[in-house]
Structure 1
């Protein structure tokens, strides 16, 4: 986008010798001038949208947080994409290499595309690392060396982690000189991956070893043994694992189950873990922990047969690049009669905690819910960050009814159906489900109660983040959208997100 008036104003600042000598010092010492330029550029690139006061305050708080990182709590509907774009542009103008982490690949692509025109006005390079083509992804890291400005790269946590491991351990030179002589900063659009229940998540580079294919017979026999085992309560599983392990070792020694001798030590080390995974696979269900679907890449089907795709239960994200380890993937393939894959070995890895800590004091994040005081204390100690709770730009109307509990599955379904039918007489109803299975069950229950199928819209949350539900303002006089959370989340943070995500108007 060309705008002669803006370009003249921009060039007048960024051609100065003071800026060229030290971009960061110049930008921080002329904050009022730089922010004015950013707001002007955004208004040009996104007519008629202009940043609101809350969004400007969010940017100022990020800029002023120098000795520590900063996590800001800002409610849904307040324009996180705009805040992320402004913040990324500011630090890129400082000469930083800016990484922006989104909850999933679709949101990363969407966020970069929405801000691209804005970045181009400021002569900032931007890209994402969400393509199936690694060469295209790696090109996003390569900045224009003729400018002092840094570049901006969007992606999901796993994509950044994978590239770090490939660059540092496999010596693939992915980043080139992007981080050489440059500060780096990370901006996170949802801090869930930093929290206690996600910080321990680890990304591995797996290596398939052809000789492990000879373990297929062992896996088949393990799965058959687990299926034959009667389990009356979970306390018996530990003893069952010991019994099956002893039985399998005897069969291997007697050559009833063939295992190459050079794999004996490896099998002895992993056997109990595999059996434990087999018991897990026995109780795991489709449309709960995973779905059977055709993987997609860039909107295109890359294969015609359905495979097991891991689902993040908190967000609904289909994690195409994630595989369960210790034989669990193989046992689920046996359970659902998929082609049996080869067990892989993990040699190099990086945890979410280690990834975020690499950015030291240049760690900035946004979230709709920071969680309890204990959660915040944990984050502060682990990542050296502080917190800010921003007010909404306008008053939100939110009333929470007393919770209801059902002890029988049939009563639970009936209660949801009756509540929905009662409320939908005057306003729309949104039912948030734990998984695909419960979605189908509630759908069928509503039909059984006489709700016409064409009045029910059924869809999956696209990653749980960035989902915009627009409700006609005419229903506000009747109480607005009625939200039913049909399950109890694992923690308060996820529970709060379930409600606040849909209170954007």
Structure 2
């Protein structure tokens, strides 16, 4: 973030004006060299080259020295200094000296209000966030508390701050936990969450600091964009705002996109960025059940490989000539009975492909669950339910027909946007996460954010046990159960991570069969997620959790657990990205605690059978012959599968961004673009 006075008129951002997207700042050659270095192999050299680290450390130590001098001052004097700091920050910008003064004041106030004081690595990360960087902080290093440093500094300067988290629970928890500090400094705080009424949302965004999830911010922005449609081009809107004419202001809830601090930024910027954000409205209760039933009936009669091809790697179904001929014959035979879309070759082909996708690509307890008589989508990156979301273009209704639940009305698209373009519209953007090195290039290219790795506050004591690669799912679950049983008997807590609801229930059944007491946490039991995860560090406790359930919740070790080796984490299936694997492993050995982790996987896992089917089939034949695989095989196959998958996902994100940009440019000629 530049130290200069901020360039945009406060009138424009305060009233929700749309912004041009940010351009990428130029990097110093030191930082370009650091970015080019492979993080896994040459992390020390990369960190040495990063010039940012030296500046961050200097500011942090200056703040620590200033904070010691403030300890003897009474509360009234500290509050007066916070008031005086406002005008100086607004006039001078975020210079290193002024930032150190602000951080020292915030650190001292936090010690009095919260009983917590920022340590050096958190102060370093805070400065990186204020400079518009993505700070990579290891799991358990206190990212939530660290976020108060840049959030308070920017808010004291008089600009609105959005602290963006991955779920409503964390947004509410973090805002409530940090509110005493904000109150002490004279700052207001609001929370935006799912189901909140519009007036309350507007009030929450009007506060100095607003906590919200990425999805709530995105859809509030889209709703505001729809609300100002018909108000003319961006130039006309900006001109009216400068003249004080904003007839549509009451229809808006946000007051612009100024500074965003994104927690778990890799999940938001990368994992969730593969799917465009679509705002839709019901088109009415048109009856589609008969069409969906007919399409599913025909789909069940077709033969895979002969009538259609399922490309699971790119999540697509293609009809062959044989399948097309059978569709045409089916439509001709039942045209009089069905009518409607079945008289259109293009429409009936799309409907049949949707039926095939619903059967083969969208799986129950993996991509969705059926709860309360409804099909509810499971967020693949977090394992949580998204009850207010639906698939578009009739796919959701097709899956409802497949599951024989009451269909919901189809929805019409009102607006669409990608996360890539949304976050580039913030004037200033920063983020923090435990794992970003693997995606540093894409984050730099797309969002203009340089990844800075923050040193650990305490040396890590995590022990990585050798990976185990087993031939079948059944053998894997037995091995996981045996390992969990032995560790729990020794008084160590065990956290078993799975990728899907179905997998969590499979290992739960095996544990039950062996009499192993455990807690199960997945999208069907997410109401007490934080409480279940927080207890996962007690002696002898076994916890099964989907994906990154409880992300953002500390697992504190029970009495005597550290001496026995700490929490042990078992990964039961590698994820599409090694970043998510590292997040799961990062649940153990936090803040210098003892801990260990191990991957126990099988050749029947989707990451292998979908991404690298050829090498996987070869290794399965080798194992069937009784040959023992060398230890490096699991790591090599994992690297190949994740590299293949990540390339595909990156291409998909780039395609979404290009499509969104092209659509916006084409609409700009009519005055409808933004």
TM-score normalised over the length of structure 2:
0.64
Matches within 5 A, 1:314-329: 314-329=381-396
- Equivalent residues of 1:141, 1:153 under 8 A apart: yes
2:495–2:545 contact (8 Å) kept in structure 1: no
Partner residue of 1:147? none
| CA-CA distance at 1:37 after TM superposition | 1.5
User: Structure 1 regions of 5+ residues with no counterpart?
Assistant: 144-150, 294-304
| 2:498–2:547 CA contact under 8 A, matched in 1 | no
| Residue of structure 2 equivalent to 1:227 | 300
| Aligned counterpart, 2:319 | 238
Q: Greater CA deviation, 167-176 or 84-93?
A: 167-176
Among 24, 29, 42, the residue aligned to 2:110: 42
Change in Cα spacing, 1:349 to 1:256, as seen in structure 2 (3 Å) is same
Per-residue deviation at 1:113? Answer: 1.3
**Deviation digits for residues 410-440 of structure 1 (CA, Å, limit 9, x no counterpart):** 2122221222223333222221112222222
CA contact (8 A) 1:461 1:467 kept: no
Q: Kindly tell me: are residues 177 and 220 of structure 1, through their superposed partners in 2, closer, same or farther at Cα, counting changes over 3 Å?
A: closer
Q: Distance in 1 between matches of 2:327 and 2:290?
A: 15
C-alpha separation in 2, matches of 1:394 and 1:76: 12
What does the per-residue CA deviation read over 1:121-149, in whole Å, with 9 as the maximum and x for residues that have no partner? 11112111105123211211225xxxxxx
SS in 2 for 1:169: helix
Contact 1:278 1:327 in 2 (8 A): no
1:169 maps to which of 226, 229, 234 = 226
Unaligned runs of 5+ in 2: 1-72, 229-247, 311-317, 520-540, 594-674
- For residues 450 and 106 of structure 1, do their structure 2 counterparts lie closer, same or farther at Cα, with a shift above 3 Å needed? closer
CA RMSD of aligned residues (A): 2.8
Show the 5 A alignment for 1:346-361. 346-360=413-427
- 1:453: Cα distance to partner? 6.3
1:46-65 Cα offsets, whole Å, 9 max, x none, are 02x211111111112233x2
Deviations 1:160-206 (A, max 9, x none): 11111111222364556833xxx811100111245444333211111
Q: Give the Cα separation in 1 of the matches to 2:264 and 2:212.
A: 13
Structure 1 residue 503 displacement after superposition: 3.0
Residue 170 of structure 2: aligned partner = 107
State the 1:158 CA deviation.
Answer: 1.5
* Residues 342-362 of structure 1: per-residue CA shift (max 9 Å, x gap): 2222131111101111125x1
Larger RCO: 1 or 2 (CA < 8 Å, sep 6+)? 1
Equivalence for 2:498:
433
Determine the structure 2 residue equivalent to 1:96.
159
Give the aligned length.
465
- What is the Cα deviation at residue 247 of structure 1? 4.1
SS in 1 for 2:286: helix
Structure 1 residue 38 displacement after superposition: 1.0
Q: Which of 483, 499, 504 in structure 1 is aligned with 2:585?
A: 499
Of residues 250, 266, 276, the one that matches 2:353 is: 276
Conserved? CA contact 1:194–1:356, under 8 Å: no
Change (3 A) 1:168 1:23: same
Find the aligned partners of 2:437 and 2:549 in 1 and give their Cα distance: 19
What is the Cα deviation at residue 457 of structure 1?
Answer: 4.5
TM-score w.r.t. structure 1 length?
Answer: 0.84
Q: Secondary structure at the match of 1:255?
A: helix
Alpha-carbon spacing, 1:336–1:32, altered in 2? closer, same or farther (3 Å): same
- 1:346-425 counterparts in 2 under 5 A? 346-360=413-427, 362-372=428-438, 375-425=439-489
Richer in helix (by share) = 2
Residue 146 of structure 1 corresponds to which residue in structure 2?
A: none
Task: Report if the CA contact (8 A) 2:171-2:191 is conserved.
Answer: yes
Compare 133-142 and 26-35 and name the one that shifted more. 26-35
How many angstroms does 1:311 deviate by? 1.1
Secondary structure of the structure 1 residue equivalent to 2:212: strand
Residue 70 of structure 1, CA deviation: 0.5
